[in-house]
Each structure stands twice: as structure tokens, then as C-alpha cells.
Amino acid sequence: MTQDATQNTGATSHAAGTLITVAPTGAETAKGDCPQLPTTLAELVETAVACQEAGASLIHIHIRDGDHRPSLDAVLLRESVQAVREQTNLVIQLSTGGSVHDPLERRLTVLDADPDSCSLTCGTTNFGDDVFLNPYPFMAQLYRQAQEREIVPEFELFDLGHVAALRRLIDDHGLPFGGKVHVDFITGVPGGMPGTPAALLAGVQALPAEVTSWAATGVGRSHLPIAAVALASGGHLRVGMEDNLVYAKGRPVQRNDELVSRAADLARLMQRPPLTTDQARALLCVKQRRTA
Ligand code: KMH
Ligand code: ZN
């Protein structure tokens, strides 16, 4: 089935509340360059608690090893999921993107940690001087494994071509577990779609009709303009130090919850207050994994 932009009514209609995702760490910033980046398990949990308090309902997690380097260690991933699950009610999303240096096979093993959600990037992107590799067969394998394990994917779209690849994925493999299709536009990566209102809205217009919600983030200085356009256009927000290390001109981000608080204030101002964690779970139809 082929959809054109005009058929998309669901995800582009105005959303009542705002899903705020925090991406606190990422894989591309060194702790040495940014000591306030949460890289230990204790820092991750403390960040998660503070960000939930500030209005986040989903956390996109990359972990680091004992030397603060990006890691896909199975034990550490499972410990991180368990610790954040114990201390918060956030929807827990593990990155399957890892760092630009992680091999594809290792990235698939992230699902073993049993997160609520996983990222699934819909195509290869130049990433500064590096390449973030996501060939279609890898995407399809990851998607099928997520379906089997009842993990809800978030489709990450770094470029307009990724929207077409999402269309192909749904045509080939059907809907995700739970039936909701949530996407996140990651704009402003050098090599991907620019962090401009025009580029974001072109992506939104092209979304398949099956998409039930969309979010956006602007990397670096496009952070605030993209948040404003997303809120004005029915989209949700992703913020955090994975994407942005500068709170304002000359003022580095000190803590992820500062970015979440500002996003929550913006959302309230736009009459689209932050969703609670339970509302976010319902929006994304994630499986109940907590034991009472
Ligand atoms: N670290 C980037 C190359 C994801 O988390 O799924 C990829 C990334 C995407 O962060
Ligand atoms: Zn990420």
C-alpha cells in the first residue's frame, strides 16, 4: 500500500499533551569534554529521577563503560534498565544506534535487556566525518526481533529518505507491537536533514498514514526553533545532552533536567502540558513489564 502526504491525518492532527523524551547521554560526546554528562549508572538513575520530576515521560538511554566510553555491554544494559525501572515510571528506550563505531550484530543484542522501547533508525546517514550505518536488511531484522519480543520501536528519521524507508518497513512487516507507530525526527546532524522548520514540516507531511505520533529534536543550535515548530504542529519533543550541550549563548547545559524543565514550560505555554508517564505508556502502547 502506498500512501501520499494528504492521507496522513492522525499524526498531524493536534495532540492534546506533549510526550517529552530525554536523551541524557548519547554516544558521541566524551566525558572529558563534558564532565556533567551522565555516564555512570548512579548518574543515569539520578538523571532519570530528576527528568521525570521535571516532566519527561520517556528516556532514551545509551550506556557507558567504567572508562565512560560508549558500551553495549549486556550486563550493564540489563542493570541500567532494571535500575531505571525500579526508580522511575519512565518509558525506557534503549538505543540500538549505539555509537558510529558499533558493529550491526552488537547493536541487535540490545534487545536482550528487555526495554519497553528501542530506537530503530530508518537508514544510513553521514554523521559529521563518520557514517551511521543502517542498511535496510538490518532495519528489517531489528524490526522483526522487536515485534517478536513485544518491544515498541521508535523510528528515528534523520533524513527525508528515511520516511520512505519507514513506508517500506511497514509494507513489508506490518505494524509494531501494540499497533502504534511513533517516529522521532532528529534534525540538524551534519549530513542529515537540516534543523529548519521547512525540512521538519516536509518530513511531517510525508509521514505514512499509519504513524500515530511524531516527535522532533534539533541538534545543537536548532534545538529551540525545532521544539517550537514541533509544538505548534502537533508534534512531541525530545531534548537532552545527547543532542544539545548549550542551554543559551555562552551558558553550557549543567543538567539534563534543565532542558526538560524548559521543554515542559514551553509545552504548558502552548496549552499542551507534559504527558504523565502513564499517558505516555498509553500513547505508545508499551507492554507492562513491571512486576508489582
Ligand atoms: N549515536 C548516533 C550515531 C540511536 O540512538 O538510535 C546514533 C544514535 C541513534 O544515537
Ligand atoms: Zn541515541
Structure confidence by residue, pLDDT tens digits, 19-45: 999 999 999 999 999 999 999 999 999
Ligand 1-lining residues (CB < 6 angstroms) = 26-28, 95-97, 99-100, 119, 121, 127, 132, 156
CA of 6 to the centre of ligand 1 (A): 30
| For ligand 1, mutation pick of 101, 117, 121 (most atoms within 8 Å of CB) | 121
DSSP 182-232: EEEEEE--BTB--SSHHHHHHHHHT--TT--EEEEEE-GGGHHHHHHHHHH
| For ligand 1, mutation pick of 21, 25, 28 (most atoms within 8 Å of CB) | 28
The string of pLDDT tens digits covering residues 143-182 is 999 999 999 999 999 999 999 999 999 999 999 999 999 9
Its pTM stands at: 0.95
The string of pLDDT tens digits covering residues 59-81 is 999 999 999 999 999 999 999 99
Atom number in ligand 1 closest to CA 242: 10
pLDDT at 5 over 70: no
252 vs 269: CA distance, rounded Å:
24
pLDDT value for 147: 98
CA of 120 to the centre of ligand 2 (A): 10
4 vs 261: CA distance, rounded Å:
36
CA of 266 to the centre of ligand 1 (A): 26
The string of pLDDT tens digits covering residues 181-217 is 999 999 999 999 999 999 999 999 999 999 999 999 9
Residue 237 bridge partners (DSSP) = 20, 216
Per DSSP, the three-state class of 179 is coil
287 vs 201: CA distance, rounded Å:
31
CA of 23 to the centre of ligand 2 (A): 7
Q: Look-up: residue for cell 559529521? A: 128
- The ligand with the least distance to the CA atom of 192 is 1
